[in-house]
Amino acid sequence: MPQTSTPIPVRTPLRSALLLAAGFAGPTFLLHFASSLWGSHLGYGFFRDELYFLVCGHHLAWGYVDQPPLVALQARLAETLFGLSPTGIRIFSFLAGGVTVGLTGLLAWQLGGRGSAQVLAMAGVLAAPVFLGTANYLSMNSWEPCFWMGALLVVLRVAEGSAGSRAWLLFGLLAGLGIENKHSTVFFLVALLVGLMLTPQRRILWTKGCAVGVVVLLTIALPNLLWQWVHHFPTYELLRGVARSDKNTKLPPLAFLREQGNMLLVFSAPLWIGGLAWLGFARKAVRWRFVALTYLPFLAMMMAMHAKDYYVGPMYPVLFAAGAVALGELTRRNWPSLAYSAVLVCVLCRVTAPVMLTILPPEKYSSFAAAFVDKKGAKSEKFTSPLPQFLSDRFGWPQMVEGFAARYYALPPDVRAHTAILCGNYGEASAVNVLGPRYGLPVAISGHQNYFYWGWGGYTGESVLTLGDDAADYKDEYEEVIDLGAFDAPWIMDHEHHHYFWLRHRKRSFAADWPQFKYWY
């Protein structure tokens, strides 16, 4: 009797795919929510950037020196709806984490995968440190994969003919919001254009629907572009300054590629690398070839620009999806995919979640993480800290503000009335402005990032409280410099160990010298 090959089950219905995606997205949201609540109990507070985004949310505009407007709007909405707490302001980011995982499952379905492939793809993304970390606090990076992969899903459906021309409206909406969320979306769109142009799917670009989608995209992105133009493109000036500085670690190509594996989890490497190979060479994936030819130019651009390694992160959900589909094609059985999924979930519970989320007490974190974190792995920035930067930057802000309050109220009332609090970076200034109102502190000023545009608050410099390293740094500008003692707190970033200084009688006013306070870095 002739042997026949086992037929591959057909793709699950869309309704089933959506239910399966929701089945992973919901627990992902709850995982982030629960870990944030527990982290608050353990002493993990607001992350440095979160404080800044909250302040930006109270200065809503179409742009900022270092970001488009969407993250500030997200901060303002979260604070309004859920209150001023670390967990409250992160609700939308937790939601983004769930959407990212769910979208990965839908991408696997779109590429022809059955239910087991969806489960594997979603388990891979859920266990990946880069996605687990960026969805756990208020960040531009939380929603970035949602916008990118949502737009790509639309293009995949248009390319196969399962979506009509109206789908381009959704593409334009998602891509435009992506640009208003983070400017790196522009590079993703350029890479997507390159990928399409190199394959027969280029035909979808020459349609009225695509043209309308591009118009929608540009319309949504236009307000930020106009803001940049009116302000003489400050974001470009900032990025150019950072590129010329030693702030970020500039990784050579091989080290950059190594970090891709680290941030995605070594156990997952066969999945996403296999997905890239399947998209690039498999006959069944010929319709999706442009995805591989999108990822590779984007990766090359990021390496050439010495971008941070995690900037490539939002591209990986589709590679996880493709890898899961490829495994299903290879094995023609459900159990290998489900077994691989179980392994990834175990790694999530045992390794990734404790390392990336605020689950462990800080005094136990280092000893636990040492067994799993690659000690030779490169950091994206050159700052040092007792914990990883995304954790250490959640400590010390309340103590710092309390220190300012104690010294502020120790001043004579007539001096206090015209005393400014001047901070050297947006983290310190934002901590004062978010946590300081409960102490009755005045609004802090700074020349860092968008604080430069918000100005000097009408202060003259006659009396100033600040944090710094050495009294000698201020003696050229002030007639009197008084050291008011050290600021210190457990687990803070190493560069945040300062002294409080009281600066008296500035020789030139803030108004006259404000251009010199500009600090975009």
Gap between the Cα atoms of 61 and 11, Å rounded: 45
Handedness of CA 234, 170, 290, 125 (dihedral sign): positive
Q: Which residues pair with 248 in a beta bridge?
A: 381
pTM of the model: 0.94
Task: Taking residues 284-302, report their average pLDDT.
Answer: 97
What region, left, alpha or beta, does residue 458 occupy, with left being phi > 0 and alpha being psi -120 to 50 degrees? left
Q: Which residue has the higher pLDDT, 289 or 241?
A: 289
* Per-residue pLDDT at 377: 52
| Of 331-335, 371-375, 390-394, highest mean pLDDT | 390-394
* Per-residue pLDDT at 375: 54
* Per-residue pLDDT at 271: 97
Contacts of 391 (CB under 8 A, 6+ apart): 44, 358, 362, 365, 491
User: In the block, which residue shows the tokens 């997905």?
Assistant: 275
CB 443 within 8 A of CB 457: yes
Task: Taking residues 204-233, report their average pLDDT.
Answer: 97
* Per-residue pLDDT at 36: 98
* Per-residue pLDDT at 242: 86
Residue 1 has pLDDT above 60, yes or no: no
- Read off the pLDDT band of 117 (50, 70, 90): very high
Residue 455 has pLDDT above 90, yes or no: yes
Task: Taking residues 274-297, report their average pLDDT.
Answer: 97
* Per-residue pLDDT at 3: 43
